[in-house]
Amino acid sequence: MRAYLKGITVSGTALLMVLGTSCNCNRQKSADEKKVIENKVKDVVYPLPTSYEVTEMLNRIGAAYILTLSNPASNATKYMTEKSQALNLGVYGADLSYASTYRQKQETLDYMTASKRLIEELNIAAAIDPDIIDKVEQNADNKDALVKLITDSFYNTYAYLQNNDRAGVSSIVMAGSWIEALYIATHISEDTYNNKEMVKIVMDQRATLKDLMDIMTKDAASTDVQDVLTDLTPIRTVFDSIEGGITEEQFNSIRDLVRTLRSKIVA
């Protein structure tokens, strides 16, 4: 299932509500500021299914939560380059979706904290609510509210990067999230290939990978983006070789390639 997410927009509406509470003498100034913001901020649509959609599908078919599949939150301190920070921000986004989908309270908080750290390291802290950690903790028992907080953070981070001439970083974040979600899907069971629903989830990622690589190709002037595209190409090659149903050999090849790439990313 590939459900495209529409209308994910950063607007000046909320800001206007705040500015409108000021004294009458500032109303014109507030209106002018709103117009400037609306002129600068483009409508930005998140272009791919999020990792939450993948982990929610796993949850619906009764797949178990396995903590050891996720990248330990403590690893966030060791990523020093922009590329590794962006990739692992995506990885932690998928791990965050996985934990919250399965109502793992402490893990959800840990992965949000790790994500926030990487967001700060990438100098994009303005993209998210400064109180996001507290809000996640406060809504730990409310799955719907938690999912909204997390998905909004995906959308806002993507929009912020797009609107601040850092599209290359945003595509690398998406790549990290895609890789981690597929890693979880292909390693959640030792008998995944014989589960038709699990295989369908994996096969759904073929079209998503094509879209992801098409997006990244537009930003290929970046050496970091080129490197990630090169790493994704062997997986794309196996997906493209599938005619009709996927064979066990093809499935295992995708699983192994994803595991190798994911290990490289989180190391």
Distance CA 195, CA 206 (A): 18
Phi-psi region of 244 (alpha: psi -120 to 50; beta: other; left: phi over 0): left
pLDDT of res. 45: 54
Are 33 and 75 part of one and the same domain? no
pLDDT of res. 49: 64
Whole-structure pTM value: 0.80
Q: Which amino acid is at 211?
A: D
How many structural domains comprise the chain?
A: 2
pLDDT of res. 51: 72
**Averages of pLDDT over each 10 residues, the chain, 267 residues:** 33 29 46 41 54 79 88 97 97 91 90 93 89 87 84 85 90 95 90 89 92 90 94 98 94 98 98
pLDDT of res. 28: 53
Which residues lie closer than 8 Å to 199 by C-beta, 6 or more apart? 192, 193, 246, 251
Are 54 and 12 part of one and the same domain? no
Are 3 and 24 part of one and the same domain? yes
Are 107 and 85 part of one and the same domain? yes
pLDDT of res. 46: 57
Are 168 and 37 part of one and the same domain? no
Distance CA 84, CA 6 (A): 29
pLDDT of res. 81: 97
Are 103 and 201 part of one and the same domain? yes
Give the range of the structural domain holding residue 32, as residue numbers without chain letter.
Answer: 1-45
Q: Which two tokens stand for residue 81?
A: 């380059």
pLDDT of res. 184: 93
Are 77 and 173 part of one and the same domain? yes
